[in-house]
Every structure is written in structure tokens, then in C-alpha cells.
């Protein structure tokens, strides 16, 4: 998707922001536009506070002059705006392509409303086209990986379970964990599989966001489509 379309979707989400709101600030190239546009409004006098979902977003928000808070100080948020790697028409999402899924999910779950901003290429009939990220603790990685692969094959995974790398080294999340990416094809039963994954000791969180998102602003070359 072109950057200008991403920015249009982000602009639609920024229009929802009202003075005094407590915001969750997403991670990724689309959420980055939201934070930039929010920064413009803040510099024009809008008073809001934000909880960033990653260290990258924290740095950007600080540069933009957006007042930041934490979930310790502000446990309930009004609105979270974030990107997604894919989503279906029931607004079930796969997230974590940028590796921030754990903080993203905690922030989304602490919000009254979650809005996703994305382009139409992220919309799928059935989830599973994008490899599902699973955040795991480092201890016992080989055992956890085997257990994750067992669950994945029970739920129809067609491909491998890969340890994510960044520049030759295992990718480490902001919370100090590793990420396993499951190549699915199609996730037949997302809810049941989500429950099976979190039951594995060593799994911290997975990238399926179910029942968390109420609205998606979808950028298309013909304009913004709103899904609810
Ligand atoms: C990061 C995420 C991102 O929201 C997701 O990867 C989408 O990113 P982009 O807007 O760059 O396509 O889940 O963990």
C-alpha cells in the first residue's frame, strides 16, 4: 500500500480523538502515521495521553511531543489505534509482524475501543495467510517449539514453526522474549487454536486478536472503507 493511503486511514482514526482521551498507540508503518498526525494535533493544543505499544513507538511519540503514561498510572484507555497483518470480516486480527504483539494485546485489552488502520490487502476471507507470531520465553525454547508445532499441526498448519531472526540473531521482543512464526495457510478454528496455544507452558501470547477490535478503517485506492 502506498504511504499516502496509510496516512489517509490514519487520518480517519485521528478524527476520532477527543480532548482528554487516554490512547493506546500502535506499532508499525501504518500506526506510525497515526502517531505523526496525532503529534500535529497535540502541537495545535490537543490534550491527550498515550500508552505506546513498543519502544519504537515510545521514541516516536516522545519526538512528536505526545504526553505519555503507563498502564500502571492509567489502567483504562479510551481508544487504541493500531495496524494489523491481516483481518477477516469478523474483525479477528493477526498481529505481531513487527514483534510487538504482547504489549499491543495488553494495551488493546485495556481499551474501551480498538480501531485498526490497514490497507485492503490485509483483508482475508480466512485467517492464516500471514504466519502467526507466537511470543515465547527463552527458557525451554526447544520444548515449547515442539509443543507449539503439535498444536499447529492439529489445527491445520501446512508449514513450519520458525524462530524469528533479525540480522542472523534470534529476534528479541521489547519484553525480552523470542517469537515463533507458524506458517498456516488457513487457520480453521482460530478461537480453539488460540486457547490451545496459551495452554502451553512457555507461550506468553499469540498474535490472534479475537473480540478486541470494533472498527477497521481500510484504505483502498477508491477511499476509506469502514468495517464494524
Ligand atoms: C506490529 C504489528 C503491526 O501492527 C503489523 O505488523 C502491521 O504493520 P504495518 O502497518 O507496518 O503493515 O502487529 O507488531
pTM for the full model?
Answer: 0.97
CB 79 within 8 Å of CB 17 = yes
Q: Which three cell numbers stand for residue 51?
A: 500508552
For residues 136 and 199, state if they share a domain.
yes
CB atoms within 10 A of CB 181: 20
Q: What does the pLDDT read at residue 128?
A: 95
Report the domain count for the chain.
2
Whether 67 and 46 share a structural domain: yes
Do 221 and 112 lie in one domain? The reply is yes
Query: Where residue 151 sits, what CATH number does that domain have?
Result: 3.30.70.260
- Nearest atom in ligand 1 to 101's CA: 14
CATH number at residue 66: 3.40.50.1360
155 & 170 share domain: yes
Q: Is the same domain home to 198 and 215?
A: no
Q: What is the pLDDT at residue 1?
A: 55
- How many Cβ atoms sit within 10 Å of the Cβ of residue 163? 14
pLDDT tens-digit series, residues 93-140: 999 999 999 999 999 999 999 999 999 999 999 999 999 999 999 999
Are residues 199 and 218 part of one domain? Answer: no
Q: Give the CA distances from residue 46 to residues 37, 73, 117, in Å, rounded to whole numbers and listed in that order.
A: 12, 20, 21
Please indicate, yes or no, whether residues 218 and 189 belong to a single structural domain of this protein. no
Is 95 labeled as ligand-binding? yes
Q: How far apart are CA 70 and CA 148, in angstroms?
A: 32
Q: Which residues of the chain register pLDDT less than 70?
A: 1
Residue range(s) defining the domain that contains residue 118: 3-123+210-226
Same domain, 216 and 141: no
Instruction: Please give the pLDDT value at position 177.
Output: 98
Residue with the smallest CA separation from ligand 1 atom 10 is 30
Q: Calculate the alpha carbon distances from 120 to 37, 71, 83, 204 in Å.
A: 21, 32, 12, 30
The catalytic position among 8, 86, 104, 205 is 104
Q: Do 25 and 117 belong to one domain?
A: yes
Contact 32, 9 (CB under 8 A): no
Q: What is the pLDDT of residue 157?
A: 80
Q: 111 forms bridges with which residues in the sheet? A: 77
> Is the same domain home to 67 and 159?
no
89 CB-near residues (< 8 Å, 6+ apart): 123, 125, 227
- Looking at residue 2, its pLDDT comes to 78
In this predicted structure, what is the pLDDT of residue 26?
A: 98
Nearest CA to ligand 1 atom 6: 97
Q: Is there a single domain that holds both residue 154 and residue 56?
A: no
209, 82 contact by CB (below 8 A): no
Q: Has the ipTM of the complex gone over 0.95?
A: yes
Judgement on whether residues 199 and 215 belong to the same structural domain of the protein: no
Amino acid at each position: 500500500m502506498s504511504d499516502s493511503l496509510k496516512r489517509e486511514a490514519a487520518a480517519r482514526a485521528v478524527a476520532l480523538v477527543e480532548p482528554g482521551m487516554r490512547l493506546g498507540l500502535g506499532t508499525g508503518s501504518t500506526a506510525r502515521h497515526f502517531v505523526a498526525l496525532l503529534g500535529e494535533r497535540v502541537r495545535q493544543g490537543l490534550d491527550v495521553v498515550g500508552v505506546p505499544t513498543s519502544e519504537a513507538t515510545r521514541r516516536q511519540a516522545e519526538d512528536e511531543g505526545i504526553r505519555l503514561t503507563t498502564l500502571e498510572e492509567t489502567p483504562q484507555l479510551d481508544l487504541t489505534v493500531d495496524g494489523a497483518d491481516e483481518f477477516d470480516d469478523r474483525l479477528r486480527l493477526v498481529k505481531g509482524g513487527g514483534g510487538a504483539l504482547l504489549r499491543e494485546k495488553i494495551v488493546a485489552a485495556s481499551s474501551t475501543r480498538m480501531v485498526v488502520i490497514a490497507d485492503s490487502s490485509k483483508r482475508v476471507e480466512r485467517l492464516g495467510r500471514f504466519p502467526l507470531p507466537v511470543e515465547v520465553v527463552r527458557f525451554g525454547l526447544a520444548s515449547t517449539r515442539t509443543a507449539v508445532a503439535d498444536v499447529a499441526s492439529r489445527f491445520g498448519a501446512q508449514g513450519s514453526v520458525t524462530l524469528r531472526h533479525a540480522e542472523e540473531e534470534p529476534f528479541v521482543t521489547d519484553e525480552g522474549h523470542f517469537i515463533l512464526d507458524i506458517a498456516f495457510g488457513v487457520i480453521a478454528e482460530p478461537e480453539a487454536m488460540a486457547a490451545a496455544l496459551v495452554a502451553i507452558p512457555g507461550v506468553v501470547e499469540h498474535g490472534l486478536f479475537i473480540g478486541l477490535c470494533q472498527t477497521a478503517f481500510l484504505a483502498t485506492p477508491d477511499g476509506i472503507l469502514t468495517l464494524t
